[in-house]
Amino acid sequence: MESIPIVISGSGSMGRQVALAAAVDPGTTPLAFIDALSQEESCEGLPLYREAALALDTHMPEVVVDFSNAEWTPVIARAALERGIRLVIGTTGLPADFLEELQAEAKTREVGVVLAPNFAIGAILLMHFARQAAKFFDNAEIIELHHAGKVDAPSGTAKTTAEQMVQARGKPFERVEADFQTVPGTRGGEVDGVTLHSVRLPGLVAHQEVLFGGLGQTLSLRHDSTGRDSFMPGVLAAVKAVREEQGLVVGLEKLFGLS
Ligand SMILES: NC(=O)c1ccc[n+]([C@@H]2O[C@H](COP(=O)([O-])OP(=O)(O)OC[C@H]3O[C@@H](n4cnc5c(N)ncnc54)[C@H](O)[C@@H]3O)[C@@H](O)[C@H]2O)c1
């Protein structure tokens, strides 16, 4: 099997994990990092570039894997698509207008892009089960719990889970409001009747619980990523699968036949 050359955008915790995982997988070869904010010249034994164009033109990867920041992802995505390079994007908190642009550009250029708010296979299954349960309950709340360094809230996974639950049910959930909140915001955020709560604490990695309530019963679905390595099988599966795609695919569930 030929090995897929990849360049990694973002040299933070996730980017570094991708480099380590891709180095030991015979199907992938990590070539370099791009990180506009890094002061380093190398990372995990690979050269590190601050400029997207220079890195891509020097290494000509087949796939760029991006785990960076919502401000940077459009920059690297445009540079990759202009060159016909496929993308696997894990960065969360991306604005809706950029997603529209990404969809249009990937389609026009016939380049595969996989964007997934969560690469943990257990989390994909949690969303799958939540879509099934959504048809049978009128009330639902999501508690997502993440490490203290996470910049966006709610998590992309929590927002997507809520949206998919509503879509599966075909109408908004019924939200239970508090008559008054002695501490503002205590009832959390809302997506079409699904209440969202974001917990941020040192010591956590990425966790999500979906709670359904009905007459005389509740149903709880929970997934825990206990380490960042939990995302790597999904990332490497996406790097391999993106070669077969043209245009934008959102969510690993489509690649796994769960949608
Ligand atoms: N899809 C998933 O399964 C999944 C899992 C974990 C994390 N994430 C997301 O991946 C992203 C990265 O997570 P992380 O934990 O590695 O974060 P991190 O903070 O450890 O690393 C982020 C990297 O992006 C770079 N960066 C930040 N702002 C930038 C900017 N304006 N311009 C250029 N580069 C910039 C930083 O230099 C850093 O190297 C986040 O959006 C996070 O939510 C997704």
Give the tens place of pLDDT for each residue, 200-240: 999 999 999 999 999 999 999 999 999 989 999 999 999 99
pLDDT band at 165 (very low <50, low <70, confident <90, very high): very high
Q: Which of 128, 150, 240, 254 is catalytic?
A: 150
Confidence of residue 1 (pLDDT cuts 50, 70, 90): low
Q: Which residues pair with 33 in a beta bridge?
A: 8, 48
Distance 91 CA to ligand 1 centre (A): 6
Kindly report the protein residue whose alpha carbon is nearest to atom 37 of ligand 1: 37
Does residue 8 carry a pLDDT above 80? yes
Residues 6+ apart with CB under 8 A from 76: 9, 34, 52, 64, 66, 68, 87
Distance 110 CA to ligand 1 centre (A): 27
Q: What is the CATH number of the domain that holds 10?
A: 3.40.50.720
205 and 246 part of one domain: no
What does the pLDDT look like over 104-124, one tens digit per residue? 999 999 999 999 988 999 999
Average pLDDT, the chain: 96
Give the distance (Å) from ligand 1 centre to CA of residue 257.
Answer: 27
pTM of model > 0.85: yes
Same domain, 66 and 90: yes
150 an active-site residue? yes
Is the domain of 179 the same as that of 197?
yes
Share of the chain above pLDDT 90, in %: 93
d(C-alpha 156, C-alpha 95), whole Å: 11
What the block records as the tokens of 200 is 């941020």
pLDDT for the residue numbered 255: 87
How far away, in angstroms, is 215 Cα from ligand 1 center?
A: 42
Q: What is the pLDDT of residues 132-164, one digit of tens each?
A: 999 999 999 999 999 999 999 999 899 999 999
pLDDT at position 258: 87
* Overall number of domains in the chain: 2
Ligand 1 pocket test, pick from 7, 34, 38, 68 with the greatest ligand atom count within 8 Å of Cβ, gives: 68
Do 193 and 243 sit in the same domain of this protein?
no
Residue nearest to atom 9 of ligand 1 (CA): 91
Please pick, among 146, 197, 207, 223, the residue that the annotation labels catalytic. 146
Whole domain around residue 240: which residue ranges?
A: 4-115+229-255
